[in-house]
Amino acid sequence: MNLIEYTFSGRKVRYFLDTSFSRLKDVVSTQNMVIITDENVHRFHPELADFQLIVIPAGEQYKTQATVDTIIAQLIALEAVRKTVLVGIGGGVITDITGFTASIYMRGLSFGFVPTTILSQVDASIGGKNGIDRGLYKNMVGVIRQPDFILFDPSLLQSLPHDQWVNGFAEIIKHACIKDIGLFELLEQHRLEDFMHDSSLLTDMIKRNVVIKSNVVAADEFESGDRKLLNFGHTIGHAIENLYQLPHGHAVSIGMAWACSLSEKLNGFDTQGHERVKRLLQQYLLPTTFLLDTEKVFEVLKMDKKRVGASINFVLLNNIGEAVVKPILLSQLDTLIAET
C-alpha cells in the first residue's frame, strides 16, 4: 500500500493512497469495526455485507442530529464499546457524520474513512472537520478531530454518477485557485472526461489535491490563518446550498464566481483572471450564476461561522493561485450581494 503519514496537533493520520478497499481488513480488525455508509453506496457495493453495518439514507438533508441519534441507537444495539472503530464509507455527508458521531459516542471512539466521491477524496475526508447541519445552517454543530486513517481506492469512483464527478471538481478548482496555478493550467488543458477515463491522470489529480489540503491543514489545523483560504467560494456557497437545495459543488462554484467578482471590485484581481476562473468552472460543467433572493441569503450569511462582529471574513483572490482573507462589513455586503 502507498502509505503517507501526516501529523496534526501531534496526532498521526495514515493515508493509504491508490489502494484497494479489500485492504481495509488489514488496517482495522473486522471484529472491532462498525461501518457507517449510505443507501446508495450500500447498493453499489454488496461486499459491505461482510461487515457490521449501519446504513443511513443518502443526502445532505440527513446530515442532522436526528440521524446521529439513530446511529447512536444502533451502536448501542451492536454493543459498540470504546475499542470499536467507526469507519465512514461514502461521500462527504458520511465522513462528516461518522467523524462527528465517533467524537461524541462514549466521549470518543477511533475512526477512519474510505471516501467514495471525488469531493470526499480530495477534500471532505481530510482535515478533521466533522459535523452536522442545523436547519439552513451548514456545519453549524461539529468538532475538529482527526481520523486514524483514510483509505483511498480510486476504483470506488466507478459507480459515481456523472453529476457527482462534476460536483467534486468544484473543490479541485478551488484548490487550484487559492494555491496552485500549475494545477489550474493542467485543468485548463483537460476535460472532465479525461479524468473519468484515464486512471493514472485521476490518481495523480487526487494525490495532488490530498497534498494541497493536508499541507494547509497541517500548518493551521484550527483555522487561525491559512486554513481560512479553503473557504474560498464557501461563504456564499454555504448560504445558498441548503436554502436552494443545491449540490455542494454547484453552490461552491457559484460562490467562487461571486468571490471573483468581489475580488475584482475590492481587491484588484484582474478581469482576465476572473474570466479564466469562470471559463474553467464552465469547462467542468459547473454553474457560475444563480438568481438568488438577496434578503434570504443575507439572513443566512449573518449567522456564518466566519462572522466577526459587524464583518464577515471573505476569501478573495489576488491572482490565480494566490488568495487572501479580507473582512467585509455586513452593511457593505448587503449592497454587494444585490449588485453582483
Q: Using CB under 6 A, which of 8, 15, 34, 92 touches ligand NAD?
A: 92
Q: Which is nearer to ligand NAD, 129 or 179 (CB)?
A: 129
CA 336 from chain centre, in angstroms, equals 27
Among 75, 156, 256, 320, binds ligand NAD (CB under 6 A): 156
Q: Interface residues for ligand NAD in 321-340 (CB under 6 A)?
A: none
Report which residue type is found at 240: I
The 85-90 sheet, strands edge to edge:
2-8, 11-17, 149-151, 110-115, 85-90, 33-38, 52-56
Residue selected from 98, 101, 117, 214 as contacting ligand NAD according to rule CB under 6 A? 117
CB of 332: closest distance to ligand NAD in angstroms? Answer: 27
CA distance 69 to 218: 31
Torsion of CA 257, 193, 120, 59, to 10 degrees: 80
- Compare residues 75 and 119 and give the one whose CB is closer to ligand NAD: 119
Beta-bridge partners for 129: 144
- Rounded CA separation 96/93 (Å): 5
Q: Does 109 bind ligand NAD (CB under 6 A)?
A: no
Coil, helix or strand for 137?
A: strand
27, 94, 109, 280: which one binds ligand NAD (CB under 6 A):
94
Under the binding rule (CB under 6 A), the answer on residue 164 touching ligand NAD is yes
Q: 112 or 273: whose CB is closer to ligand NAD?
A: 112
Residue 170 engages ligand NAD in binding (rule: CB under 6 A): no
At its nearest, how many Å lie between ligand NAD and the CB of residue 328? 22
Query: In the 8-state DSSP scheme, what is residue 157?
Result: G
β-partners of residue 151 are 16
Does residue 51 bind ligand NAD (CB under 6 A)? Answer: no
Does the footprint of ligand NAD cover residue 159 (CB under 6 A)?
yes
- Name the residue with cell 441548503: 242
Selected from 93, 109, 260, 312, the binder of ligand NAD by CB under 6 A is: 93
Site for ligand NAD in 61-80 (CB under 6 A): 63
Residue recorded with cell 476572473? 274
Q: Which of 176, 273 has the CB closer to ligand NAD?
A: 176
Minimum Å gap between C-beta 154 and ligand NAD is: 11
Per DSSP (E only), the strands in the chain are 2-8, 11-17, 33-38, 52-56, 85-90, 110-115, 129-134, 137-144, 149-151, 307-308, 311-319, 322-329
Q: 109 near 80, Cβ under 8 Å?
A: yes
Contact region for ligand NAD (CB under 6 A) — 3-11, 73-81, 158-166, 304-312?
158-166
Using CB under 6 A as the binding rule, whether residue 90 contacts ligand NAD is answered as yes
- Of 8, 38, 154, 288, the one binding ligand NAD (CB under 6 A) is 38
CA-nearest of 175, 154, 176 to 165 is 154
**Contact flag: residue 129 with ligand NAD (CB under 6 A):** yes
Q: What are the grid coordinates assigned to 229, written together?
A: 483560504
| Interacting residues with ligand NAD (CB under 6 A) | 38, 40-41, 44, 58-60, 63, 90-94, 96, 116-117, 119-120, 123-124, 127, 129, 138-139, 156-157, 159-160, 164, 167, 248
